[in-house]
Copies of this chain bind each other. A is one copy, B any other.
Amino acid sequence: MGKYKIGIVGATGYTGSELVRILINHPSVEISVITADSRKGERFIDVHPQFQGIFDAPLVGIEEIDKHKLDIVFLALPHGVSMDFVKDHLDRDFKIVDLSGDFRLSSPDVYESWYKNDHNFAEGFEAAVFGLPELFRSKIKKAKLVANPGCFPTSAILALAPLLKEGIIDKDHLIVDSKTGVTGAGNKAKPNTHFPVVNDNFTAYGVKTHRHTIEIQEVINAYSGAESSVLFTPHLLPVDRGILSTTYTKPTQEVSEDLLNKIFKDYYNNEPFVRLVDQVPSLKQVRGTNFADLYATYDDRTKTIITVSVIDNLVKGAAGQAVQNMNLMLDLDEDEGLAIVPLQP
Residues in chain A within 8 A of chain B (CB atoms): 14, 17, 20-21, 24-25, 48-55, 172-175, 177, 179, 181-183, 187-191, 193-205, 207-208, 229-231, 233, 235, 237-242, 244, 246, 248, 250, 275, 277, 279-288, 291, 293, 297, 299, 301-304, 306, 308, 339, 341-345
Contacts and interface: CB of A to CB of B under 8 A. Distances in A.
A341 B275 contact: no
A199 B195 contact: yes
A341 B24 contact: yes
Contacts of A21: 341, 343
A13 to B, nearest CB: 11
Most chain B beta carbons < 10 A, residue from A182, A280, A343: A343
A231 B281 CA distance: 19
Given A173-B173, A246-B177, A280-B205, A230 B343 contact: no
Contacts of A345: 14, 183, 187, 196-197, 199-201, 240-241
A341 to B, nearest CB: 4
**For the complex formed by this chain, how many copies does it contain in all?**
4
Contact of A283 (B202, B282, B286): B202
B194 A341 contact: no
A272 to B, nearest CB: 8
Contacts of A50: 284-286, 341-342, 344
A191 B189 contact: yes
B175 A304 contact: yes
Contacts of A52: 275, 277, 293
A308 B207 contact: yes
Contact of A229 (B48, B182, B280, B301): B301
Given A275-B52, A277-B52, A297-B208, A231 B302 contact: yes
